[in-house]
Amino acid sequence: MNAKRFIRPAIWFVMFVFVALMLNSFLSSGDDPEQVDTAQAIQEIDDGNVKSALITGGDVQRIELTLNNDDEIWAYYVEGQGLDLQNELQRQNEAGNLAEGYDVDIPQSNPWMAVLGTVLPLLLLVALIIFFLSRVQGGGGRVMQFGKNRAKLASKDAPKTTFSDVAGANEAIEELQEIKEFLQEPGKFQAVGAKIPKGVLLYGPPGTGKTLLARAVAGEAGVPFYSISGSDFVEMFVGVGASRVRDLFKEAKENAPAIVFVDEIDAVGRHRGAGMGGGHDEREQTLNQLLVEMDGFDVKTNVILIAATNRPDILDPALLRPGRFDRQITVGAPDLDGRHKILEVHARGKPLAPDVDLMAVARRTPGFSGADLANVLNEAALLTARGDAKIITPKFMDEAIDRVIAGPQKSSRLMKDEEKRITAYHEGGHALVAAALHHTDPVHKVTILPRGGALGYTMVLPDEDKYSTTRNEMLDQLAYMMGGRAAEELVFHDPTTGAANDIDKATTLARRMVTQYGMTERLGAIKFGSDSSEPFLGKEMGHQRDYSEEVAGQVDEEVRKLIETAHQEAFDILVENRHILDELVVALLEQETLNKEEIADLFASIEMHERRPAWTGSPTRKPSELGPVDIPVKVSTNGAEADHDEEGIIVAPEGPVTGQSTPSDQSMGS
């Protein structure tokens, strides 16, 4: 018979008896008569004022007297006085002074009861400590398992995620497929001398599907799959994390071949020696044990460690070397085709209208992660249910995209007509400047409806994904960002705080152009500043400037020059197309939101801004007088072809977005 099932009821019973005894002692003590000194009690007996008496012994020795006037008193007496009190009461009784006599109740002392009274409270205290420790550790039987691992073994009966449920990460799937094949057919690889990778690190931005890929590996592997979070190793007691690592790998080795998945490994794998912790804290002890288990003295292990993180820059170099994490797979934002496939996966089970084009949705969402795309479809379904509709229409899909990009619409926020007019000119300035430049993305939407923290926004999106951004594209982005501020100055001669976010973005981009991208003739292709600051002390606290005060002043001057030039370009464009700006504002005030086609009709007669002169590079080099060589060059990219554009720059067909792809916000304040 299992004794564990009786432990908890027994503990509760002992606790109940203990509490009952304490309550009985407390309640019974409240009914005692008046307490007097022993000398006063003896004096009452000598004076013949006592009608009856009771002498008790045991743990508490006391005499209780009932006086002739029916008052009750009592007093303590020491053991030596007990016999004297009995003799005095005997004498008074024989003299007829005790009307109701007296009684003596002094039990014979039992040594075992004294021992029990001493030991029982101690036993109860120990039982309570054991009980509460077991509750803290998650239930009975866990007290002695404090250093055991907390990894979860994937159940065979649980719903499985396979590689068919993952889209937009073809390269990662190919690498993980190889791991699956090695576990299923090791002889195929061993025949050519190949060794199984000991570790696979999945890293990339949040929401790109790293954990989903790990679940797919668990569903496809056909071997024991243990999953655990990096934070589960770390405790406040030094040595517990290392013990859990040892126990986890011991269990995995006993069931080898096996896969261990550690999510958010940066919680335990951070760079050693960084911050204020020193070398003996719990986290570093845990990391040291993990390093030994992955590639230590024992070389016959057949356990593969898969880890995920979105902070590979802070991981310890010893963890990333070959022999530990042999494969480091980037799981980035999906391209156009990947976004389309992800939308198809998440659209399963959702009633889409026939005119909902998922490819069009994919084109409108450059830079979105898989989690963002899943959120778009979920928001569309929620909006459909909220509107008591049965199918998801393009209207709900369009609103869902706007909600994910800029937040929910503030229908309760009422703006004055003058403030609406200012907002319309601000957003109209953005849209007009973007349309008049040669290297900006097309304008897809302009609205003056408040959404999220913005009073309105202008959405510019590329027609295809990009892998890089040119200098002219960034200069056009600066002018586009300053378009709202320039419109306010042109029309009202009184700028507002609505351009605060635009100025912040423009300043950040201009400073990167100067200090990181080397896109100024004065300073040349030199990087100013380093990214070697400690992430645990704060990015700025550990950062040291590696250039002089004179160069710092030149950097500030170049940043200011870029911003002022962009501001002037935006102002000139608005002056040249003032009549179109006014027409756009009238349409915005009437309709509040304009789509891509309506904007294109208004901008049909727009006067394009003149192109910038050719980039000459460093002032020590002479610009070429020949210009780009007029030779048709074609670059093969995944089966597609990309030609030189009219300025001789190779344009790739698809890729991730690196330029301006989100709407410019008009914040409510600076």
440 is annotated as contributing to ligand binding: no
The answer to the question of whether 204 is labelled as a binding residue is: yes
Taking a C-beta distance cutoff of 8 angstroms, is the pair 51, 98 a contact?
yes
H/E segment holding residue 421? helix 417-436
Q: 502 a known binding residue?
A: yes
Q: How far is CA 201 from CA 198, 320, 330, in A?
A: 10, 8, 8
Residues 6+ apart with CB under 8 A from 48: 92, 97
Question: Minimal CA–CA distance to 309: which of 210, 164, 454, 162?
Answer: 210
As given in the structure block, the two tokens for residue 605 are 């007669």
Both tokens assigned to 532: 């070697």
31 is in an annotated binding site: no
Alpha-carbon distance of 534 to 537, in angstroms, equals 6
- Opening angle at CA 404, ends 400 and 405, nearest 5: 115
207 is in an annotated binding site: yes
407 is in an annotated binding site: no
Cα–Cα distance for residue pair 438/642, rounded to 1 Å: 19
206 belongs to an annotated ligand binding site: yes
- The verdict on whether residue 498 carries a ligand-binding annotation is no
Q: Is 430 annotated as a binding residue?
A: yes
> Which residues lie closer than 8 Å to 619 by C-beta, 6 or more apart?
521, 522, 524
Active-site residues: which are they? 427
Burial profile 438-472: b = 16 or more Cβ within 10 angstroms, e = fewer:
ebbbebbbbbbbbbbebbbbbbbbbeebbeebbeb
**607 within 8 A of 522, measured Cβ to Cβ:** no
Enumerate helices (H) and strands (E) in the chain, giving the number of each.
21, 17
Name every residue whose Cβ is closer than 8 Å to that of residue 50 and which is 6 or more positions away in sequence: 44, 65, 66, 67, 68, 92, 97, 98
User: Annotated binding residues for Zn(2+), as ranges?
Assistant: 426, 430, 502
Binding-site residues from annotation: 204-211, 426, 430, 502
**Residues in the annotated binding site for ATP:** 204-211
